[in-house]
Amino acid sequence: MTEIRTPRLLLRRWLDDDLVPLSEIHADPVVMRRVGDGSPRSLEQTAEDIEAWEEEWDEEGFGVFAVELLGSGELAGAVGLSVADAPAEIAGQVAISWRLGRVFWGQGYASEAAQATLEFAVQDRGLDRVVAVCRTGDRASANVLDKLGMQREGATGHPDHDLAVHGIDLTQYQ
Ligand SMILES: CC(C)(COP(=O)(O)OP(=O)(O)OC[C@H]1O[C@@H](n2cnc3c(N)ncnc32)[C@H](O)[C@@H]1OP(=O)(O)O)[C@@H](O)C(=O)NCCC(=O)NCCS
């Protein structure tokens, strides 16, 4: 079972007990306004998300991690890798993404989890490149991307918002 410990976090695969806390995070419209179609997600949709992430873990050997706080054991959110299906500019490439419950914001957890995810991508899975998209106005994600050293490579339009495309060459990752 794939697990990563950082100074404050346990990144691990998904357990049945994660469904309710993740669905509570997914029910918060402020968390979800820049995720997917921008709508909160129901318990049933959250179960589908976890199932899809677990399938990706089984098929690809990487996926989206459950992010647990060491110590309290609380589920803080989801950070990890998936093969992007959209937008077209990054379709088929491995993308990193993040979402945390609002009470966990602003404490460096997303950066800590994302950095460990990039190390996992290159050291454990031998990936040489990871991409990310960031919506215009998403200062928090832009700051995480900066801290990771992910460079802006271009932009793409969407009917509702503009997306910046970022990437990192992991062969150079320190
Ligand atoms: C994006 C998100 C994961 C960031 O999580 P986080 O744990 O708060 O991020 P970090 O604390 O690691 O922040 C990284 C840097 O950005 C800064 N930052 C965090 N939130 C910020 C905000 N709203 N505005 C400006 N800067 C912000 C932090 O201060 C930190 O910089 P510093 O280390 O120089 O102080 C979190 O805000 C979130 O879950 N948002 C909702 C989901 C989402 O929109 N995901 C992205 C689209 S898929």
Candidates 141, 165, 166: which one to mutate for ligand 1, based on the most atoms within 8 Å of Cβ? 141
- Please choose from 31, 53, 111 the residue to mutate so as to test ligand 1's pocket, defined by most ligand atoms within 8 A of CB: 111
Alpha carbons 11 and 107: distance in angstroms, whole number: 16
Task: Say if ligand 1 is within 6 A of residue 108 CB.
Answer: yes
Residues 33, 105 contacting (CB under 8 angstroms): no
Pocket of ligand 1 contains residue 106 by CB under 6 Å? yes
Residue type, 24: E
- Kindly report the number of other CB atoms within 10 A of residue 112's CB atom: 19
What Å distances lie between residue 140 and 19, 52, 56, 76, CA to CA?
25, 26, 26, 16
Kindly give the number of the ligand 1 atom that is closest to the alpha carbon of 114.
Answer: 12
d(CA 21, CA 168): 31
Check residue 63 and give its pLDDT: 98
What string of pLDDT tens digits covers the 174 residues of the chain? Answer: 689 999 999 999 999 999 999 999 999 999 999 998 899 999 999 999 999 999 999 999 999 999 999 999 999 999 999 999 988 889 999 999 999 999 999 999 999 999 999 999 999 999 999 999 999 889 999 999 999 999 999 988 777 778 999 999 999 776
- The answer, yes or no, to whether any atom of ligand 1 lies below 6 A from the CB of 139, is yes
The answer to whether the beta carbons of residues 57 and 49 sit under 8 Å apart is: no
The whole-model pTM stands at 0.95
